[in-house]
Amino acid sequence: MGRLQKILIPFLGLVLAFWFYSARDTFKPEMLRGKRVIVTGASTGIGEQMAYHLARMGAHVLLTARTEPRLQSVVRRCLELGAASARFISGSMEDTAFAQGVVREAQTVLGGLDMLILNHVGASYFGFFDGDVEHVRKLLEINFLSYVAMATSALPMLKESEGSIVVVSSMAGKVGFPFTVPYSATKFALDGFFSSLRQEFTIQNINVSITLCILGFIDTDRAVRAAAEVLQERPAPRDECALEILKGAALRRRELYYRYSSTRLPLLLRDCAAELLDYLVRSRYRLPAAPAAPRPPH
């Protein structure tokens, strides 16, 4: 019996490992050919790179952000790269009516929607929490409520196409990081909303996938300008990051981690050694020496 167990258990382990890895399908760029995709925050950074990858794969892209001249040049480049079609609408995600209007535009000009990529973020500061509650409220509107509004308006079209919602989040939406208090709150909120919604979709047999993307430090202009001096962490390339998001979305993954070594691996500590993880996070920061405590009088 003992010997049988010694052979049987590793054998079962191998069978399970083989099944797990072989069952994971592989990405092919054709999966996104002809798909109708909205990308928010597409004027710069990761959103811009996702637009270019989608264009190369032959998708129809509808791009949005506030800065019209930037969007015009991204659309032009998408058409050069082979997009089936490329358009933009400019406006601010502070305005829920605008967010819903972007989704309506997909219905009008594309006749439906296969993928909604929610990626934009409002500007915030990288520093100690400054006590500005209005800023937290505004950031929740831009980074969270507009995501909720867009996903809700897009749901009828996505149900029809059995499409996908992609939510771009961050390590700062899974663990507490210093210097990102308001931002982090908005990213944790996204996890709560979309992970609960995914559960309900499963119960109701709604075949719309939700992919939550957990990103580490990425080399976009704004992030590097804000944080490169303080962080002892090399930022990962935005174009590779954008492609990994699209692969995860096309494969209908529930969560996606980029890069693995600075996201998935540290997160393994979260439930069993939270204080150690907090310490490791703090150790990635070059912090100014804390001001010396006043000396007690002799």
Ligand X SMILES: NC(=O)C1=CN([C@@H]2O[C@H](COP(=O)(O)OP(=O)(O)OC[C@H]3O[C@@H](n4cnc5c(N)ncnc54)[C@H](OP(=O)(O)O)[C@@H]3O)[C@@H](O)[C@H]2O)C=CC1
Residue numbers annotated as active site: 183
Task: From 81-89, 91-99, 249-257, 262-270, give the range in contact with ligand X by CB under 6 A.
Answer: 91-99
Residue 145 interaction partner, one of ligand 0GV, ligand X, none, beta carbon < 5-8 Å per kind: none
φ, ψ dihedrals at 253, nearest 5°: -70, 150
Shortest Cβ 39–ligand 0GV spacing (Å): 18
Q: Binding string to ligand X for residues 123 to 162, with x set by CB under 6 A, is what?
A: -------------------x--------------------
Among 160, 233, 260, 273, binds ligand 0GV (CB under 6 A): 233
Q: Is 292 helix (H, G, I), strand (E, B) or coil?
A: coil
Helix (H) or strand (E) holding 195: helix 181-203
According to the binding rule CB under 6 A, does residue 119 interact with ligand X? Answer: yes
Q: Which of 217, 253, 257, 263 binds ligand X (CB under 6 A)?
A: 217
> Contact 273/261 with Cβ under 8 angstroms?
no
Please state, in angstroms and as integers, the Cα–Cα distance from residue 10 to each residue in 3, 6, 13, 19, following that order: 12, 7, 5, 14
Strands (E), the chain: 36-40, 60-65, 85-90, 115-118, 164-170, 209-215, 255-258
Helix axis angle for 181-203 and 146-161, nearest 10°, is 30
For ligand X, the binding residues in 180-209 under the rule CB under 6 A are none
- Count Cβ atoms within 10 A of the Cβ of residue 287 and give its class: 0-12 exposed, 13-18 middle, 19 or more buried: exposed
Show the tokens assigned to 212. 């939550």
Binding-site partner at residue 233 among ligand X, ligand 0GV, none, CB < 5 to 8 Å by type? ligand 0GV
Q: Which is nearer to ligand X, 218 or 250 (CB)?
A: 218
Q: Which residues of 226-255 are buried (b: 16+ CB within 10 A; e: fewer)?
A: bbeebbeeebbebeebbbbbbbbbbbebeb
Alpha-carbon span 176 to 171, nearest angstrom: 8
Is 119 or 153 the residue whose CB approaches ligand X more closely?
119
Token pair 């897009």 is found at: 154
Residue 280 in the binding site for ligand 0GV (CB under 6 A):
yes
Structure tokens of 165? 């919602």
Establish if 47 lies at the interface with ligand 0GV (CB under 6 A): no
Task: Give yes or no for residue 170 binding ligand X (CB under 6 A).
Answer: yes
Does residue 236 bind ligand 0GV (CB under 6 A)? Answer: no
Query: Counting contacts by CB under 6 A, is residue 84 touching ligand 0GV?
Result: no
**Dihedral (Cα; 186, 192, 194, 200), 10-degree rounding:** -160
Sole binder of ligand 0GV in the list 227, 251, 252, 278 (CB under 6 A): 227
| 93 counts as binding ligand X under rule CB under 6 A | yes
Q: Examine residue 178 and tell whether it contacts ligand X (CB under 6 A).
A: no
Is there binding between residue 284 and ligand 0GV (CB under 6 A)? yes
**46 contributes a contact to ligand X by CB under 6 A:** yes
Residues engaged in binding ligand 0GV (CB under 6 A): 126, 170-172, 177, 180, 216-217, 222-223, 226-227, 231, 233, 262, 266, 280-281, 284
